[in-house]
Amino acid sequence: MRPYRAPWWLPGGHLQTLYPYFVLRRRPPAYRRERWETPDGDFIDLDWLDERDHSAPLVALFHGLEGASDSHYASALMRSAMRRHWRGVVIHFRGCSGEPNRMPRAYHSGDADEIAWILGRLRELNPATPLFAAGVSLGGNALLKWLGRQRASARGVIDAAAAVSAPMDLMTAGDRLGTGVNRLYGRHFLRTLRKKSLAKLERFPALYDSRMVRRARTLREFDNVVTAPLHGYRDTDDYWTRASSKPDLRYIEVPTLIVHARNDPFLPGRYLPEEGEVSASVTLDLPHGGGHTGFASGPFPGNLGWLPERLLDFFSENLATAR
Residue 90 contacts residue 61 (beta carbons within 8 Å): yes
What is the identity of the amino acid at 243? Answer: A
Q: Among 168, 172, 181, 174, which residue's Cα sits nearest to residue 224?
A: 174
Catalytic residue among 72, 92, 260, 292: 292
Q: Which of 75, 137, 281, 297 is catalytic?
A: 137
Count the neighbouring beta carbons within 10 Å of the beta carbon of residue 219: 26
Is 238 assigned a catalytic role? Answer: no
User: 116: exposed, middle or buried (C-beta count within 10 Å: 0-12, 13-18, 19+)?
Assistant: middle
Question: Cα dist. 226→106, 178, 237 in Å?
Answer: 10, 17, 13
| CA 45/CA 55 separation, integer angstroms | 23
264 has catalytic annotation: yes
- Report the chain's terminal Cα–Cα distance, integer Å: 24
Q: How far apart, in whole angstroms, are the C-alpha atoms of residue 23 and residue 261?
A: 20
Q: Where are the alpha helices (DSSP H) in 38-111?
A: 72-83
14 belongs to the catalytic site = no
Task: Given the residues 45, 264, 281, 285, select the one marked as catalytic.
Answer: 264
- Catalytic residues, by residue number, are 137, 264, 292
